[in-house]
Amino acid sequence: MYGASALADKTHRSMRLTDPFMMYSIIAGIMFVLIVAQGDLGMGVSFALIVVFTLVFAGVNWRVPVVVGVFGAIGMITVFLAGGFRSHRFHTYFDALRGNIEDTQGTGFQAYQGFLSLADGGFWGVGLGQSRAKWFYLPEAKNDFVFAIIGEELGLWGGALVIVLFAVLGYFGLRTATARRTSSSPCWPPRCRWVLSCRPSSTSATSSVCCR
């Protein structure tokens, strides 16, 4: 919301610190460092994506997101090669892409349980509120893996409906943000773009882990 308000009707003219885009980037960078310092790299990456989306929608010079993307890719490769639980999460994700989760009782336990939840749901689901996986079998069933519970209770059609609804949200959010309409608030379009980048992108990230 701060970015949408600060960058509304602004033009990126220079890389100086006095430029509103640079000020916003510096503040966002400090917040990113604080989030990562707490050990929550996943939230830090999500936050960084929202910041980049906000800058792009506000009209920042294309060199800025390119540089951020390069450093982000280097950082992800470093995390992947460094080992530890974050590296294991990458390996589990790629194993799930191939449909072969090797360590189903260790690092791949959560992803494997998500597979089982979706498989139990089938096409029609087991019924609303009738999920068995949420009773201690599936870790983080109430947040990160809630899509697996939806797929188990409502089946394939229920999971597809959730994806379609968020796609519709993204479409109408972009349509509203780009429409030429009179508004008493000049930051109305950037706020729409912020919602557009925040909700669908975070939802697609969490649901893709369950589906892979």
Mean pLDDT per 10-residue run, the chain (212 residues)?
A: 74 79 88 89 85 82 87 87 78 78 81 85 88 82 83 91 87 69 51 58 54 51
**Angstrom distance (rounded) from CA 178 to CA 182:** 12
**Angstrom distance (rounded) from CA 200 to CA 50:** 11
Alpha helix stretches (DSSP H) within 179-187: none
* Per-residue pLDDT, 178: 64
**Angstrom distance (rounded) from CA 107 to CA 100:** 13
Query: What are the structure tokens assigned to 8, written together?
Result: 């509304």
Q: Is the pTM of this model over 0.85?
A: no
Identify the sign of the CA torsion 171, 174, 178, 182.
positive
Region at 181 (left for phi over 0; alpha for psi -120 to 50; beta for the rest): beta
Return the exposure string of 105-127: e unless at least 16 CB atoms fall within 10 Å of the residue's CB, then b: eebbbbbbbbbbbbebbeeebbe
Query: What are the structure tokens assigned to 69, written together?
Result: 């993307």
